[in-house]
Amino acid sequence: MMQNRLRIYLSECPRSDLRESSHLKDVDDALNCIEHWREEMTQFMVDMLKMKAVNPDGGGNGEYARALSVQRWLEKLGLKVERHDLPDARVPEGVRVSLTSVLDGVDTSRTLWFVAHLDTVPEGARELWASDPYEPVVKDGKIFGRGSQDNGQSIVSTLFALKAVKLQGVKPRTNVGVAYVSDEESTSNFGVIPLLEKNVFAESDMCIVPDFGTPDGSSIEVAEKGLLWLKIATKGKQVHSSTPEKGLNAHRVGLSVTLEIDKFLHSKYVAADPLFSPSLSTFEPTKSECSVDNVNTVPGLDVQYFDCRVLPQYSLKEVMQDIESIKKKSELETHAQIDVVRIQYEESSAPTPPDCEVVQKLKTTIKKLRGIDAKPIGIGGGTVAAYFRRKGIHTAAWGTTDETAHQPNEYCKIENMLNDAKVFAHVAVN
């Protein structure tokens, strides 16, 4: 167990050759300081994870308490914090909170942003967890709890990287900013999207989004597939299952149309792109809503969901046109009413150029600190990086994780949290 809990706010680096934080001379001193903040960073993470931040679309009350905790921490560090509130009647406080804070650099016309998200997905089936997902456990060099990796590790590593840069006492080349946004686990309509619409971020800025990672940190995400979430609701006529001829089985029609859509999309959209992993477009039927609670009723409503991740060479508009054609054909044949609703619709953005400044900064730092030649890649997962790219802001997603996001027994390695903070501090200063 951790003992002698350190004060989170404004603690000095406990090195014998550094009496005051202002005596830090160069980035190597800052990196050494981060190493000595291990216990402090761990405790910060544990305290933060106890504040449930489940997105309202996942049945939670949002990330308000967590946002205010981060705001207080930044203000204690002596930084000005801009709070961006958006009304949301679904949460107790009535608002969703995002935060931005900037440390001035030599060139104040540009900012290098580190962007992490405050909200989490729900825990899922409790019986699959070895411990309470909202009572974090520190064990075997890991912190277990919902949101520990996604995106708690990134919040902590970027906060303490910023602390190291500030206490170093030397201005970075450009401004260094942090943005902690709400609603990433859903639509981002209460998070990064309105911030971009308000021009909080300039087109000349650069962004690093630590919401993607590999176990060794050898991949830098520069591109994402198009993202399409669909709800397919089939309406028939509910009757007793002993007289099915009097009704219209919505479940049978719903399953049939879902399977037809699944088969067609996989047969048409077959191109591969080696930049991405997996290299193909993916079309996955995922969630099914309960139609009836008993066995002996023919359901009059069936609801299925699709999660589609589509390579940039294809347009989501074309995918939707194909699905609409299948839907209309099924309606004519079955006389059921089928509604296809787009829950999320994000066309692919132009990839970040692998030779741009922010990617090269990351590559150079990763090579220096870890001896790894990191490679640019594309992914199927969606991050807020896509929104920045659509605004023309060069953005890279990077981190070091065991990829336990959204899983039971989610964890982050404390070593990864520390070492990522070192990378972020080095990138920020150089």
The residues carrying an active-site annotation are 119, 184
Rg (CA), the chain: 24
- Cα separation, 329 vs 320, in Å, equals 14
- Give the amino acid at 417: M
Rounded to the nearest angstrom, the gap between the alpha carbon of residue 371 and the centroid of all alpha carbons in its chain is: 27
Q: How far is CA 4 from CA 39, 164, 310, in A?
A: 9, 22, 50
Bridge partners, 226 (sequence order): 310
Bridge partners, 4 (sequence order): none
DSSP string for residues in 265-277: HHHH---B-TTEE
Which residues does 430 contact at the CB level (< 8 Å), separation at least 6? 27, 173, 361, 364, 365
- Cα separation, 202 vs 102, in Å, equals 13
Both tokens of residue 56?
Answer: 């309202």
Rounded to the nearest angstrom, the gap between the alpha carbon of residue 18 and the centroid of all alpha carbons in its chain is: 37
Closest residue by Cα to residue 312 from 201, 225, 206: 225
Both tokens of residue 327?
Answer: 């839907």
Q: What sign does the dihedral 146-149-152-156 (CA atoms) show? A: positive
Q: How far is CA 261 from CA 236, 319, 323, 340, in A?
A: 19, 10, 6, 12
Both tokens of residue 146?
Answer: 């919902």
Number of H helices, E strands in the chain: 10, 18
Q: Are 386 and 347 in contact (CB under 8 A)?
A: no
